[in-house]
Amino acid sequence: MTASTANAQRFREFKMPDVGEGLTEAEILKWYVQPGDTVTDGQVVCEVETAKAAVELPIPYTGVVHELRFGEGVTVDVGTAIIAVDTDPGAGPAEAPAAAPQEAAADEEAEPQGRQAVLVGYGAAPSSTKRRARKPQPGVPAQPEPAKAALQAELNGRTAPAAPATPAAPAVQPAPAAPAGSAVPAAGRPLAKPPVRKLAKDLGIDLATILPTGPDGIITREDVHAAATPAAAPTEAPGPVAVAAAEPGTVDAAARERRVPVKGVRKATAQAMVASAFTAPHVTEFITVDVTRTMKLVQELKQDPDMAGLRVNPLLLVAKAFLVALKRHPEANAAWDEANQEIVYKDYVNLGIAAATPRGLIVPNIKDAGAKTLPQLASELGDLVATAREGKTSPAAMAGGTVTITNVGVFGVDTGTPILNPGESAILAFGAVKLQPWVHKGKVKARQVTTLALSFDHRLVDGELGSKLLADVAAVLERPKRLITWG
């Protein structure tokens, strides 16, 4: 066994795993260990945030932390080593294997191995395809490093740095540099990893205009950022500068602004809402209902022994009313399959509950909510909300929803026009319950009243069906005994 092989077996690297949702990167939020700390197999070493949620990562090795490859707040590609562990610290000093660059790690040719471990499932099988190095263009000589730097700078719209003095060489007529904004000649599609392609797309950069600096002609994240950097203004000789006096009473607006990168849950929410709003034709209907009897039932259930230890609130009965109404109108519980041009009717209800968290809006769902009793529904609803507020909701808990409830009433809001969660058919907004004058049994009395709003996908739900669904939810809340007669 060679020394390098022994070191590789002794110093084990833990790579950023795929959490099972096909995500390509995650941000390291917090390290729970530092170099020199002892860790055991299964111990949580860090917390990362994906586009779905925050996840704690356990390490599969026992030993002493040798190195943390990335600091907190850094976004790391899936499959990149983030920590190195010395599994045999008693063996004496040894040199740990060097960390591979993040951008090149996923594209380097490696020996066949088993599937990479992930948090959910078995991961993707290793590809047998090997990437070939780019062949040089016929008649185009290979450019030395200074020439590459000059060409990259000119492509990016910046002034190339002065090249260091070199010994005289035979005169060669240089090829004209490509003008700014033009594509670099390349054989076929530019080589870049999917996260790098996405970054270039987000920044509006054409990969064909970027001169790659990675191995085998691969475009790296740094290349894209360099191409996106605005051109620097040409420097001029220093001279007298006239300083304009600020007008009295004016304040620089930029000094009172903050810019926060869009990433993680906020980025995923923004993308989902835009996709939903401009894909599914939304229709929103409203109804105002007297929920005095429902509010009385809430108080009675709080004293019921069968509900002891469970959180009973109006949202629980609104959820149950929604489930009963869906049972009466199952055609509203469906999904639109654009690829196959089919409507998928679902014989189960995964009820989503929109939850506001410090990291943004998430929508975990209760699986098979329609089949649960009221105590079971109360238990799962309480666990769901508590987990969401702690930021511990797993991606699996947010997948597969069919309909959603958003409780805007907790903020004192009467109602709204909610946007559908992507892939779902309807979302119900539950507004604030307020004492209002209401005609009850022929007399105007103070009653507890709320407004419900139902948004639905008009491709799936016609106006008649949506109206009946909303009316039935209101009917159950007006007379909650219908939970028994209709349920």
Residue whose tokens read 């111990």: 43
Q: Which two tokens stand for residue 21?
A: 């949702």
CA-CA distance, 28 to 342, in Å (whole number)? Answer: 40
Q: How many residues does the chain have?
A: 487
Residue whose tokens read 């929410």: 269
**Which amino acid is residue 113, in one-letter code?**
Q
Q: Which two tokens stand for residue 452?
A: 């419900």
CA-CA distance, 157 to 181, in Å (whole number)? Answer: 8
CA-CA distance, 391 to 248, in Å (whole number)? Answer: 47
CA-CA distance, 119 to 17, in Å (whole number)? Answer: 7
Other CB atoms within a 10 A radius of the CB of residue 420 amount to: 22
CA-CA distance, 267 to 25, in Å (whole number)? Answer: 13
CA-CA distance, 431 to 405, in Å (whole number)? Answer: 11
SS3 of residue 417 by DSSP: coil
Q: Is 458 a catalytic residue?
A: yes
Q: Could you tell me if 45 and 57 are in contact, meaning their C-beta atoms sit under 8 angstroms apart?
A: yes
DSSP percent split of the chain into helix, strand, coil, nearest 5: 30, 20, 50
Residue whose tokens read 């769902």: 365
Q: Could you tell me if 166 and 145 are in contact, meaning their C-beta atoms sit under 8 angstroms apart?
A: no
Active-site position among 225, 282, 329, 458: 458
Considering only the C-alpha atoms of the chain, give the largest distance between any 2 of them, rounded to a whole number of Å: 105
CA-CA distance, 280 to 466, in Å (whole number)? Answer: 15
Q: Could you give the residue numbers annotated as active site?
A: 458
